[in-house]
Chains A and B, each alone.
Chain A
Amino acid sequence: GAVVSQHPSWVICKSGTSVKIECRSLDFQATTMFWYRQFPKQSLMLMATSNEGSKATYEQGVEKDKFLINHASLTLSTLTVTSAHPEDSSFYICSARWTGTPYEQYFGPGTRLTVT
């Protein structure tokens, strides 16, 4: 149990275009989902917290107008990188928190974004 999927697993886009990444909890309902970013050989950095039916909470330094998050249901959150630039190239990973284990977060497999 506690499986989280992401789609796509990798994407290449041109500078200035927008990219949408989906995060789904497959076998449980997630009231809260989180989005992280990981640059090569670095740790995961929290970008935002997404609660179902409400606006996302962004970490300091993360542009909310650039990284649009929608958590429309208990099993789906999306991250849209708008007007992507090469510096947005990174590994984006989502996680989901199951109501049964408040502090355990289960991570998706990640999405590799390359902006050319």
Chain B
Amino acid sequence: GQQLNQSPQSMFIQEGEDVSMNCTSSSIFNTWLWYKQDPGEGPVLLIALYKAGELTSNGRLTAQFGITRKDSFLNISASIPSDVGIYFCAGSSGGGADGLTFGKGTHLIIQP
């Protein structure tokens, strides 16, 4: 089956620093999505990417859909305490009727 490799597994950063995480896939995806999950809650959609090469921003978040359609990255600029959580990439290879394949997550920890 499809697998997503997400890295890093965890990040310990200082408040104010920029953050970068990425996902790579063994196969092509038509859509990349980035979610944030807080403990005991469901994932919240941050950014959705639909086209290869697409670069999309949402406030301090920027994500790109790799040109090969096998990778994506998420950047967070000027991190703040509320950015703490687990970030998941997710991909869809189908036409919208498919469930998502999730990466293993990046646990972001911000040190004051």
For chain B, the bracket of interface size reads 20 to 34
Residue of A32, A97, A109 near B41 (CB, 8 A) is: A109
Q: How far is the CA of A59 from the CA of B1 in the complex (A)?
A: 11
Residue of A6, A32, A43, A97 near B102 (CB, 8 A) is: A43
Q: Which of A34, A51, A101, A104 has the most CB of B within 10 A?
A: A104
Q: Which of B90, B98, B103, B105 has the most CB of A within 10 A?
A: B98
Per-residue B-contact encoding for A78-107, CB less than 8 Å = 1, 0 else: 000000000000010101010001111111
Contact B99 A34 (CB under 8 A): yes
Cβ contacts A to B, 30 pairs, < 8 Å? A6-B42, A32-B96, A34-B100, A36-B99, A42-B104, A43-B88, A44-B100, A45-B102, A46-B99, A46-B101, A49-B97, A49-B98, A60-B1, A93-B42, A97-B97, A102-B95, A103-B31, A103-B48, A103-B50, A103-B92, A104-B33, A105-B33, A105-B45, A105-B100, A107-B35, A107-B43, A107-B44, A107-B45, A108-B42, A110-B40
Q: How far is the CA of A18 from the CA of B38 in the complex (A)?
A: 28
Contact A103 B88 (CB under 8 A): no
A109 and B42 contact, Cβ closer than 8 Å, known pairs A34-B99, A49-B98, A103-B50: yes
Contact B97 A110 (CB under 8 A): no
| The 8 nearest A-B residue pairs measured at CB | A102-B96, A46-B99, A107-B42, A103-B31, A43-B102, A34-B99, A44-B102, A110-B42
Per-residue A-contact encoding for B53-87, CB less than 8 Å = 1, 0 else: 00000000000000000000000000000000000
A112 at the interface (CB under 8 A from B): yes
A51 CB, min distance to chain B CBs, angstroms: 8
Q: How far is the CA of A45 from the CA of B48 in the complex (A)?
A: 19
Within 8 Å CB of A93, what residues of B? 42-43
B30 at the interface (CB under 8 A from A): yes
Contact A103 B33 (CB under 8 A): yes
Q: How far is the CA of A49 from the CA of B45 in the complex (A)?
A: 19
Contact A97 B96 (CB under 8 A): yes
